[in-house]
Chain A
Amino acid sequence: MTAVFSKTMITLRHSLTVLVVAWVAFSAHAESESAAVDVLDTSAATSTSDARAVNSSKLKLSTFGRIVAGRINDSDMEFFSYDDEWRANRQSLIGFRLDTEFTDKLTLVTQGVGYTSNSREDGITQLYFNYSPVRSTNIRVGRTNTALFNLSESYDIGFTYPWITPPQQVYSEFLFINMDGILLNYGFGNVDIAGDIDVYWGQYGNEFVIAGASNFAESKHSQGIALNIYKDNWHYRASYHSSHFEIQIKQTGELREALVQVGFQDIANFISDTGEIKILQAGVHYDNVDYFFRSEWTKLKTDIYIMPEIESAYATLGLNYYPYSIYATLAWSDLYYPPVSNGIPLGLNPQLDVLKFLVDDLSNVLADDSLVSLSLGARYDFSHNIAFKLETTVLNGEDNQRGLFNVFSENNPEREAMLFQVAIEWVF
């Protein structure tokens, strides 16, 4: 508990330091700008969520945050790092975004986030120039969030969506990629529809931890395309993403070398940690005054053995009763690993036997998995920028599989639990 508290405090302290520095810069600049402001317009303009109002502020600071507490009802299991004690260090965060406008067309965007979770790295998550030669076109160059799915770019800003935790079957943490590259966004519209299209290319490299060991994942070529169409209150989205990834995991690298040395090149190739990842996504949203519907389907295909092929989806139906809303979400995912054809003979010599067992062990660790969940939740919009949320999720995995649980009891084949969460979300 002490460690958790310390981590939370350190994260908040780092974030606050960044915020203070940004705010001082903002204040100093705003003061120098004030002389240029149209007095009449200033008296009329408000500062809701739109610092763009009329005037010429060249710096705009916005902040966001969330405090989320959760627990599950089973002392033998952990889901999303929640155990059977209430914990607020899993998804709580604080962040800022600073837009520095050099001209009407060129802006530098800096976004930083401090996480309480150890699994995500604090710091500057986005840093890019945005050039907008005409209203319909934006060109981003720098580090940006990769917009794989509907919420990929705004996942940290819980105020923007109804859930406390968006369906984990779709929004797995490893799919949040901050890419260094270029993105072209083109918007279009006519009397019947509106829409926009993204095309992007970039590179990615980051360390990650498996079983306490630090590993490295790198992609030198990631590219994708995403299409959004808006018609009445419908929003349709489809996207395709592909990456060439190299995931350096020390243990599998050593196993591959040993397999090559004894002539089992085909098995070594099969458990390769280098290859293509392709992701397809389709989503439909509908919102009106009284109810909302959201659904999304994703499919990840890969030839990297240590990564599963994943198919996942969710559907949400919600009712608005302003300023309250309630919703139910059914989500599902299947993870599949292609089986290894382990042709290493048993009993010829001890070294081969060890290799055969290691390959079998790897195959057992990377087992197929699935999870179905039903979430029921409520949101109360306390003000225009603060919301309170409640959510409970029934988690139901296949017996004897992992069911996306971090920890489970080997003695109990059932993979069922309930997750309870409360949250406060804000944007300023």
Chain B
Amino acid sequence: MKTLLLKIALIGMLVPYCLPAFAQTQPDEAAKATASYKIILVANIDTEKLSLTKQEVQNLFMGGVIQIDLTSVAIAAGDPVRTKFNLSIIGLTESRVQSYWAQMQFTGRKKPPITFAKPEHALAYVARNKNTVTYVSTQTSIPPDLVVVYQ
């Protein structure tokens, strides 16, 4: 039994590498994700030269720690920009993101980002508050003081 479990564990761990196209695509979300725009992150910071890695973006928006003093600002569930951000950068479905935050909330492990109903509200908040960051679509008009930190 131990050997069998070990084999299953190894197969499971290899799945993400061996079967990238295994994907049963997420019908509704995939449609949104393949929309013509991309997601970029903009921040209200003093420097113009800051580039975040994907891991740092994941850390920022999933409650982890990064070495830069930034506060993440999110958009509420149901908005297509959030959906596309979760699918393309966080790499999770909305269900998984919600269950993750429920776990973090009820165990007191991590605090979710400040969240706004609409992208324009999130962007306006970032524009007014130093050291904050949010995600927007490339079709959004970005205030001149904000810096693109991930694209």
Chain A residues at the B interface, C-beta cutoff of 8 Å: 41, 44-46, 48-50, 52-54, 62, 64, 97, 99, 109, 111, 130, 135-136, 138, 140, 145, 147, 153-154, 157, 159-161, 185, 187-194, 196, 230-233, 284, 286-293, 295, 313-317, 319-323, 325, 330, 332, 372, 379, 381, 384-385, 387, 427
**CB pair B125 A54 closer than 8 Å:** yes
Contacts of A154 in B (CB 8 A): 102-103, 106-107
Chain B residues at the A interface, C-beta cutoff of 8 Å: 1-2, 4-5, 8-9, 11-13, 15-16, 22-29, 53-56, 58-59, 62, 64-67, 74, 76-78, 87, 91-96, 98-103, 105-109, 111-118, 121-122, 124-125
Rounded to whole Å, the gap between the CB of A80 and the closest CB of chain B is 21
Rounded to whole Å, the gap between the CB of A237 and the closest CB of chain B is 12
Give the residue of B58, B67, B112 whose beta carbon is less than 8 angstroms from that of A190. Answer: B67
**CB pair B117 A322 closer than 8 Å:** no
The residue in chain A whose Cβ has the minimal distance to the Cβ of B54 is A232
Q: A154-B103, A290-B23, A315-B5 are in contact. Are A187 and B64 (CB under 8 A)?
A: yes
**CB pair B95 A325 closer than 8 Å:** yes
**CB pair A291 B5 closer than 8 Å:** no
Contacts of A325 in B (CB 8 A): 95
Question: How far is A137 from B109 in the complex, measured between Cα atoms in Å?
Answer: 11
**CB pair A322 B28 closer than 8 Å:** yes
Q: A160-B103, A233-B91 are in contact. Are A189 and B29 (CB under 8 A)?
A: no
29 chain-A/chain-B pairs, Cβ below 8 angstroms: A44-B117, A44-B125, A45-B114, A45-B121, A49-B98, A50-B101, A50-B113, A64-B102, A135-B65, A157-B106, A160-B103, A189-B64, A189-B65, A191-B53, A230-B59, A230-B64, A286-B12, A289-B23, A289-B87, A289-B92, A291-B16, A316-B12, A320-B24, A322-B28, A322-B93, A322-B95, A332-B5, A385-B102, A427-B106
**CB pair B115 A50 closer than 8 Å:** yes
**CB pair B115 A48 closer than 8 Å:** yes
Q: Tell me what chain A mostly uses at the interface: helix, strand, loop, or mixed.
A: strand
Rounded to whole Å, the gap between the CB of A167 and the closest CB of chain B is 11
The residue in chain A whose Cβ has the minimal distance to the Cβ of B76 is A46
**CB pair B116 A45 closer than 8 Å:** yes
7 pairs of A and B residues whose beta carbons are closest in the complex: A44-B121, A194-B64, A160-B103, A293-B12, A290-B23, A187-B65, A381-B95
Contacts of A49 in B (CB 8 A): 98, 101-102, 105, 112
Question: How far is A190 from B118 in the complex, measured between Cα atoms in Å?
Answer: 30
Give the residue of B16, B55, B93, B94 whose beta carbon is less than 8 angstroms from that of A191. Answer: B55
Compute the total of residue contacts between A and B using a CB distance below 8 Å.
205
Question: How far is A330 from B5 in the complex, measured between Cα atoms in Å?
Answer: 8
Question: How far is A154 from B102 in the complex, measured between Cα atoms in Å?
Answer: 9
**CB pair B66 A189 closer than 8 Å:** yes
Q: A44-B116, A46-B115, A330-B5 are in contact. Are A288 and B92 (CB under 8 A)?
A: yes
Kindly list 10 other residue pairs between chains A and B, CB separation below 8 angstroms, not including A191-B53, A313-B9, A379-B95. Answer: A49-B105, A50-B111, A62-B105, A64-B106, A192-B53, A230-B64, A291-B23, A317-B12, A322-B93, A323-B93
Question: How far is A270 from B95 in the complex, measured between Cα atoms in Å?
Answer: 51
**CB pair B8 A315 closer than 8 Å:** yes
Q: A53-B114, A286-B16, A313-B5 are in contact. Are A291 and B103 (CB under 8 A)?
A: no
Rounded to whole Å, the gap between the CB of B6 and the closest CB of chain A is 9
Rounded to whole Å, the gap between the CB of A312 and the closest CB of chain B is 10
Q: A320-B95, A321-B26, A322-B94 are in contact. Are A191 and B64 (CB under 8 A)?
A: no
Rounded to whole Å, the gap between the CB of B25 and the closest CB of chain A is 7
Contacts of B94 in A (CB 8 A): 322-323, 381, 384
Give the residue of A52, A136, A293 whose beta carbon is less than 8 angstroms from that of B16. Answer: A293
**CB pair B65 A194 closer than 8 Å:** yes
Give the residue of B15, B55, B62, B99 whose beta carbon is less than 8 angstroms from that of A293. Answer: B15
**CB pair A290 B24 closer than 8 Å:** yes
The residue in chain B whose Cβ has the minimal distance to the Cβ of A290 is B23
Q: A189-B64, A290-B23, A322-B26 are in contact. Are A46 and B95 (CB under 8 A)?
A: no
Contacts of B2 in A (CB 8 A): 313, 332
Question: How far is A308 from B98 in the complex, measured between Cα atoms in Å?
Answer: 37
The residue in chain B whose Cβ has the minimal distance to the Cβ of A63 is B106
The residue in chain A whose Cβ has the minimal distance to the Cβ of B79 is A46
**CB pair B115 A322 closer than 8 Å:** no
Contacts of B56 in A (CB 8 A): 189-191
Question: How far is A194 from B57 in the complex, measured between Cα atoms in Å?
Answer: 11
Rounded to whole Å, the gap between the CB of B41 and the closest CB of chain A is 15
**CB pair A48 B76 closer than 8 Å:** yes
The residue in chain B whose Cβ has the minimal distance to the Cβ of A41 is B125
The residue in chain A whose Cβ has the minimal distance to the Cβ of B97 is A384
Q: A46-B76, A157-B102, A427-B102 are in contact. Are A322 and B121 (CB under 8 A)?
A: no
Question: How far is A20 from B73 in the complex, measured between Cα atoms in Å?
Answer: 32
Rounded to whole Å, the gap between the CB of B79 and the closest CB of chain A is 10
**CB pair B115 A53 closer than 8 Å:** yes
**CB pair A194 B58 closer than 8 Å:** yes
**Residue from the set B2, B59, B77, B95 with the largest chain A CB neighbour count within 10 Å:** B95
Question: How far is A46 from B45 in the complex, measured between Cα atoms in Å?
Answer: 25
Contacts of A153 in B (CB 8 A): 106-107, 109
Question: How far is A31 from B16 in the complex, measured between Cα atoms in Å?
Answer: 49
